[in-house]
DNA sequence: TGGATGCTTGCATTCGCAGTCAACGACGCC
DNA sequence: GGCGTCGTTGACTGCGAATGCAAGCATCCA
């Protein structure tokens, strides 16, 4: 019933502020003001305009608005398939948070974990206000972004040269919790199953594990590399667990591989977990809590991390000060049945606010 | 080294086509043409412009371009958390495919599975060229979209009134394959574990199962509803499997619930799968193939479905003819160890091209 | 050699809206 | 009653790139 588009029935002619102005008998400026909070307009006029707008089904064009305000309300999000596999919820969470902040998420999927100058041009050409990158950006690319005034927040990555803000998970603290737990459970000889060689997240976790184990006087063998997948974990298990000198614990760089190792133990190698080997993961994906696995793992606080990332990018967009900070949120240790000792279901550590580095003082004050 | 932004070192002043024109000693039109394929420009001029552009790090603004061409190269994607939980890869896949098509994915996350007029206004205000909705849109909302010339493709949904194109999975065929397999395995008395009451995907699968079982002379008890999650499946299991009259098979509306049922059988109820009960799922998520579960399930061809959805939306954007079609891709039956009979690893049916309804003849010809 | 043709190029305009500026009326104060 | 102030309103311009149009130029043919 009623109408919805003023004149032309076909052709999808956009309804513009002029159409609304004409119908309401006011100027185009008035229409514009009626849709901006805090604009100088009487409530009577605003009501009249909005009535007319509703009648025509008018919505201000973000594109036209962006052209003049120099703000697109678009936030670019960079991901690779690996990111989304390891953290299936990340896109939904980021999208949700960005939306809460009044913008929208424009997704850029990358084939390889690396943004070059072309990729940057691509981002720039879509006029994003800022970028959240769950991918690797070379330092010189970051410098270009800075030079162009494009705010970047790195997610689970960071810029050693401090050329971008970043949000991550404090693997060092996490690994200390884990090491303490394992030591208490009797671990003496642990192996580490890493992700792909050079994968930043995996390297970070490996380094953290090394440091934590060292400070607990436990040994950690040289890492074995797989590709983050369940299949690759399962495949790597026989090598890791050769009877000759089998480690008593396998620490994995992510959950998927850990679950693969557990499956290999039980179904391929006839080993009991944690009886013969303890297995740990990192991320706390949904499956880790399923009774078939009951994986002890470090829970990455995704909700907090994404919220923080969005918060930081929004602040940088409004601020654009060159101050940089790196925020590390604390993972929780979730103890389940794949390790010895502790009580199943124990959670050690409170996820959330963690370390903060950088020149800026408080974000959450 | 070198420079990257012409004059102002700070302030992030955008590099415009005028800047490039000035540097190259040509008109702004020339710059514009140098960046459009097929534009009337000599290769010499184009080269000169591009050299200048590279020097300044210029990239044409999609926003300005969109304003005049009336094409934003933005495709809106509507999802709820449920969508992304059931199909973790969907956003990545859609993003990837949309990118292949030269556009970008703008994500709209919904709290509830329903788009009202406000939501539509929101979409319109972001000037998306088209919408892929993995959510429910009321018929009158679809009509509004049509009236406004906004192409919509429904994903795993459809418009009974035929007011939008749609892509889905042919559950009817799938369930027929499954029913045949189960019958061969000795199923006589099956129960159905559905998703939330009214959830379109679940209802569709339930109806398909009902029809398929009926035509195989197997009984299917009234559905029990859960919420699609592993936990809810596990929780529903005791009721479904009460010793008094325990069904010999449980058909689930998605994999997560099926895995929950399996966990409940083994860990809570002391029942063997498939010895005491056979369990089946739908989707073929990664975990279904893990040896701890080995779930027999119907594999939804996500890659094909997303590709098809993007293909359709792109075609509608270019075409904008009012013809509507509904494309159903065929799921494959993946037989694993959670059902009796068949050989583990068998795959029945070829996923991909399936039924097609609607006035338009061929998309892939 | 004159003119027709086709390819390049620049000029001027346009997309839809935000914000500046000036005009206007109402009101309060001296 | 005159004047300043404030709150509203409309006209106009500009954001950055695309494109119709016409001019410029080379080429080709008769």
Contact, A70 CB vs strand D, < 7 Å: yes
Q: Do domains B74-169+302-330+354-358 and B171-299 have the same CATH topology?
A: yes
- Give residue-wise pLDDT tens across range A290-335: 999 999 999 999 999 999 999 999 999 998 787 889 999 999 999 9
pLDDT > 50? residue A8: no
Give the gap in angstroms from C-alpha B79 to the nearest C-alpha of chain A. 8
- pLDDT of A192 higher than 70: yes
Nucleotide nearest to A63 (CA to C1'): C16
Nucleic strand D contact set for B 59-118 (CB, < 7 Å):
60-61, 64-65, 67-69
What is the mean predicted confidence (pLDDT) over B278-299?
Answer: 96
Segment (H or E) for A361: none
Question: Tell me, what's the pLDDT at A323?
Answer: 81
CB-CB contact of B94 with B116 (8 Å): no
Q: Please, are residues A233 and A252 in contact by the beta-carbon 8 Å criterion?
A: yes
Both structure tokens of A314: 């929004």
CA dist B18 → A108, A180, B31, B38, B63 (Å): 28, 62, 8, 21, 16
Write down the pLDDT at residue B352: 57
The whole-number average pLDDT for the span A233-243 is 94
CA torsion, ordered B312, B317, B321, B324, to nearest 10 deg: 30
- In this prediction, residue B333 has a pLDDT band, given cuts at 50, 70 and 90, of very high
Structure confidence at residue A40 as a pLDDT band (50, 70, 90): confident
Please give the pLDDT value at position B356.
Answer: 60
Two structure tokens written together for B149: 């010339």
A145 Cα to chain B: minimum distance (Å): 10
Q: State which residues between 49 and 68 of chain A bring their CB within 7 Å of strand C.
A: 58, 60-61, 64-65, 67-68
Residues of A in contact with B125 (CB under 8 A): 59-62
Nearest Cα neighbor of A309 from A156, A170, A147 is A156
Chain D: bases < 7 Å from a protein Cβ: 7-12, 14-20
Exposure string for A253-292, b = 16+ CB within 10 A, e = fewer: bbbbbbbbbbbbbbeebebebbeebbbbbbbbbbbbbbbb
pLDDT for residue A362: 30
- Give the pLDDT band of residue B116 (cuts 50, 70, 90): confident
* Domain residue ranges in chain A: 17-60, 74-170+302-330+352-358, 171-299
Chain A residues touching B320 at Cβ < 8 A: 12
In DSSP notation, B33-61 reads: HHTSTT-S--HHHHHHHHHHHHHHT----
B109 CB inside 7 Å of strand C: no
- Give chain B's mean pLDDT: 89
Query: CB–CB of B107/A91 below 8 Å?
Result: yes
Give the count of alpha carbons within 13 A of B292, CB side only.
28
Mean pLDDT of A182-196: 93
| pTM (two decimals) | 0.91
Q: What class, spelled out in words, does domain A74-170+302-330+352-358 have in CATH?
A: alpha beta
* Predicted local confidence at residue A13, as pLDDT: 72
B321: buried, middle or exposed (CB in 10 Å: 19+, 13-18, 0-12)?
Answer: exposed
pLDDT classification of B56: cutoffs 50, 70, 90: very high
B74-169+302-330+354-358 to CATH, choices 3.40.50.2300, 3.30.1330.20, 3.30.565.10, 1.10.443.10: 3.40.50.2300
Q: Mean pLDDT lowest for which of A48-62, B1-15, B94-108, B116-130?
A: B1-15
CA-based nearest residue to A295, from A242, A333, A349, A246? A333
The fraction of chain A above a pLDDT of 70, given in percent, is: 91
Inform me whether the pLDDT recorded for B353 exceeds 70. no
Q: Does the pLDDT of residue A353 top 70, yes or no?
A: no
Averaged pLDDT for residues B51-73: 94
Distance of CA B303 to the CA centre of its chain: 9
Residue B224 has pLDDT above 50, yes or no: yes
Options 2.60.40.1250, 3.40.50.2300, 2.60.40.10, 3.40.140.10; CATH for A171-299 is 3.40.50.2300
pLDDT at B72 over 90: yes
Strand D neighbours among B 22-41, CB < 7 A: 28-29, 32-33, 35-36, 39
Whether A60 and chain B come into contact, CB under 8 Å, resolves to yes
What pLDDT does residue A38 have?
82
**A41 sits within 7 Å of strand D by its CB:** yes
pLDDT reading at B7 higher than 60: no
The answer to whether B188 and B149 are in contact (CB under 8 A) is no
Distance B42 CA to D27 C1' (A): 16
Tokens of A255: 């959950």
CA–CA gap between residue A191 and residue A203 (Å, rounded): 15
Q: Does A61 touch chain B (CB under 8 A)?
A: yes
Residue B8 has pLDDT above 80, yes or no: no
Confidence of residue B364 (pLDDT cuts 50, 70, 90): very low
pLDDT tens digit sequence for B210-219: 999 999 889 8
The pLDDT score that the predictor gives to residue B10 is 41
Q: Are B127 and A62 within 8 A, CB to CB? A: yes
Measured CA to CA, the distance from residue A56 to residue A66 in angstroms comes to: 22
Report if CB A42 to strand C is under 7 Å: no
Query: Using one digit for the tens of pLDDT, what is the confidence trace for A94-141?
Result: 999 999 999 999 999 999 988 988 889 999 999 999 999 999 999 999
- For B:145-174, CB contacts with A below 8 A are 147-150
pLDDT at residue B358 greater than cutoff 90: no
pLDDT for B250-266, tens place per residue?
Answer: 999 999 999 999 999 99
> What is the Cα–Cα distance from B212 to B206, expressed in whole angstroms?
10
Please state the rounded mean pLDDT for residues B27-33.
94
How many helices (H) and strands (E) are present in chain B, helices listed first?
Answer: 13, 15
**Alpha carbon separation from A133 to A109, A111, A119, B162 (Å, rounded):** 10, 14, 12, 40
Helix (H) or strand (E) holding A148: helix A139-148
Rounded to the nearest 10°, the torsion over CA A164, A197, A328, A334 is 160
């Amino acid at each position: 019933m009623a109408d919805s588009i003023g004149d032309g029935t076909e052709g999808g002619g956009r309804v513009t502020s002029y159409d609304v102005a004409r119908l309401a008998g006011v100027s185009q400026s008035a229409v514009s003001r009626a849709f901006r909070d805090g604009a100088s307009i009487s409530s009577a006029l605003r009501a009249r305009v909005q009535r007319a707008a509703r009648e025509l089904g008018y919505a201000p064009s973000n594109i036209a608005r962006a052209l003049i305000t120099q703000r697109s309300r678009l936030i670019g999000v960079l991901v690779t398939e690996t990111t989304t596999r390891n953290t299936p919820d990340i896109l939904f969470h980021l999208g949700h948070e960005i939306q809460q902040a009044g913008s929208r998420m424009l997704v850029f999927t990358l084939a390889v974990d690396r943004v070059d100058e072309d990729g940057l041009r691509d981002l720039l050409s879509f006029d994003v206000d800022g970028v959240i990158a769950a991918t690797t950006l070379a330092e010189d690319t970051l410098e270009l972004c800075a030079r162009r005034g494009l705010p970047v927040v790195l997610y689970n990555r960071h810029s050693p040269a401090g050329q971008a803000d970043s949000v991550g998970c404090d693997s060092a603290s996490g690994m200390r919790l884990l090491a303490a737990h394992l030591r208490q459970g009797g671990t003496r000889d642990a192996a580490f199953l890493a992700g792909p060689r050079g994968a930043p997240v995996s390297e970070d976790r490996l380094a953290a594990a090394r440091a934590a184990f060292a400070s607990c006087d436990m040994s950690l063998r040289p890492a074995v590399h797989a590709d983050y997948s369940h299949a690759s974990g399962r495949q790597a298990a026989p090598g890791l667990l050769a009877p000759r000198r089998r480690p008593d614990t396998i620490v994995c760089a992510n959950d998927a591989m850990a679950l693969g190792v557990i499956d290999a133990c039980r179904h391929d190698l006839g080993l009991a977990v944690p009886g013969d080997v303890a297995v740990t993961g990192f991320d706390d994906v949904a499956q880790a809590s399923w009774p078939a696995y009951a994986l002890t793992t470090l829970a990455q606080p995704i909700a907090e991390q994404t919220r923080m990332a969005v918060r930081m990018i929004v602040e940088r967009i409004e601020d654009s000060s060159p101050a940089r900070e790196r925020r590390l949120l604390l993972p929780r240790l979730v103890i389940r049945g794949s390790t010895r000792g502790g009580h199943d279901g124990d959670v050690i550590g409170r996820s959330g606010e963690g370390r903060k580095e950088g020149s800026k003082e408080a974000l959450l004050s």
